[in-house]
């Protein structure tokens, strides 16, 4: 089962990452000024991850593959790690789609 992990960075911003059942990080968020906004971001991932058109498949300048998950307004709500191949990136997308809806939340800020 997947897990969202909420942390607070050195700037005081809240961030989350989505880990697959094996503990591998499959999606990370941008920084949020409040925990409530971070939690809203998690709910947005749960919803938007179920729509293929919200995943933006990209290739970096060094040839590695990654993806962004976007909300309905086009704002990026999470991005992936870099993958060696497009097939691996697509596997990462499938993992987000499978894990996000039922992932638990582990709040490391309390």
Q: What is the pLDDT of residues 36-86, one digit of tens each?
A: 999 999 999 999 999 999 999 999 999 999 999 999 999 999 999 999 999
**Sheet with 14-19, side-by-side order of all strands:** 55-59, 65-70, 76-79, 25-28, 14-19, 3-8, 104-107
Contact 96, 72 (CB under 8 A): no
Instruction: Give the Cα separation of 92 and 82 in Å (integer).
Output: 10
The SS3 call for residue 109 is coil
This prediction's pTM: 0.94
Instruction: Give the Cα separation of 102 and 90 in Å (integer).
Output: 20
Give residue 33's pLDDT. 97
């Amino acid at each position: 089962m997947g897990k969202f992990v909420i942390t607070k960075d050195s700037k005081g911003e809240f961030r989350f990452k989505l880990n697959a059942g094996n503990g591998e990080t499959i999606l990370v968020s941008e920084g949020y000024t409040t925990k409530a906004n971070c939690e809203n971001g998690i709910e947005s991932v749960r919803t938007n991850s179920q729509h293929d058109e919200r995943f933006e498949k990209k290739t970096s300048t060094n040839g590695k593959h990654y993806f962004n998950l976007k909300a309905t307004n086009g704002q990026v709500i999470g991005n992936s790690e870099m993958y060696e191949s497009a097939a691996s990136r697509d596997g990462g997308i499938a993992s987000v789609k499978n894990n996000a809806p039922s992932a638990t939340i582990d709040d490391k800020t309390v």
